Amino acid sequence: MHLELPIKNRITLRWNHALWLFMLLFSAYLQASGQVPSWRYDQALINSGDYWLLLSGNIVHLNWTHWALNIAGLTIGIFFFGSYGSVFHWLFVIFISAVFVGLGLYWYNPEVITYVGLSGVLHGLLIYGGVREIRVYPASGYVFLFILVGKLMWEMWYGVVPGSEDLIAGRVVTDAHLYGAIGGGLATLLLTLFDQLIEVKNRQQNTEHNQ
């Protein structure tokens, strides 16, 4: 189904913008208050039972440059795709993507002792946004997803995008991007099925009401 959505709707304030503002302010607070070590993904602490660190590592960052780059990516995603989902939709994508990042690193990357950063979850959010973009602006949606998948494939075959580690003065865990994207893809599929079920249910109720 092709939907028509004016470009101006990209910048219309919506309730889900409060979610993005909270993420920005909360992550900035954790960074400024020096709480990164207590919130980061830490394999040893997770092994000891602090399982919440599987998720919390996604909200803290290595340094302010790392924070700024991730927030810039999030802001761009919000501008283009923020109107495509409710707070529930975006929270669901964030949660599933974060779970995939945390468990993916824990199960498949035992060499990663500690991890911080929103980039894995951000890739999941962008997957969802790109798929929803296709329903509204097919050309830009397909181009965006092609570029995003191309970036992931580059990282799988050739490693880190040149210059990215110099920018943040630390190691980039590219596998986290892949895990987040997979989680975002799964969340997108589940939400699409959920929305279709709701649509079918509403259609049936309207049919019964009109009889």
Distance CA 113, CA 133 (A): 36
Report whether 41 contacts 118 (CB < 8 A): no
Element (H, E) at 54: helix 53-56
The full set of domains in the chain, from first to last, is 14-196 (1.20.1540.10)
Predicted local distance difference test score (pLDDT) of residue 209: 64
Banded pLDDT at 202 (limits 50, 70, 90): confident
The mean pLDDT of 1-12, rounded to a whole number, is: 49
Q: What is the pLDDT of residues 14-23, one digit of tens each?
A: 667 788 899 9
Which pLDDT value is given to residue 9?
55
pLDDT score, position 97: 98
pTM score, whole prediction:
0.89
Query: Residue 4's pLDDT is what?
Result: 45
Q: Which residues contact 109 (CB under 8 A, 6 or more apart)?
A: 173, 175
Q: pLDDT for 130-173, tens place per residue?
A: 999 999 899 999 999 999 999 999 999 999 988 889 989 899 99
Comparing CA positions, the residue from 97, 71, 93 lying closest to residue 84 is 93
Q: What is the pLDDT of residue 62?
A: 95
For residues 178-194, give the mean pLDDT: 97
Residue with tokens 């990215």: 164
CB proximity list for 53: less than 8 A, separation 6 or greater: 39, 40, 41, 42, 45, 46, 102
Alpha carbons 192 and 194: distance in angstroms, whole number = 5
What are the tens digits of pLDDT across the range 47-82? Answer: 999 999 999 999 999 999 999 999 999 999 988 898
- Determine the Cα–Cα distance for residues 177 and 160; give it in Å rounded to an integer: 11
Query: Is residue 55 a contact partner of residue 99, using CB atoms and an 8 Å limit?
Result: yes
Tokens representing 1? 């189904």
Interatomic CA distance for residues 150 and 161, integer angstroms: 12
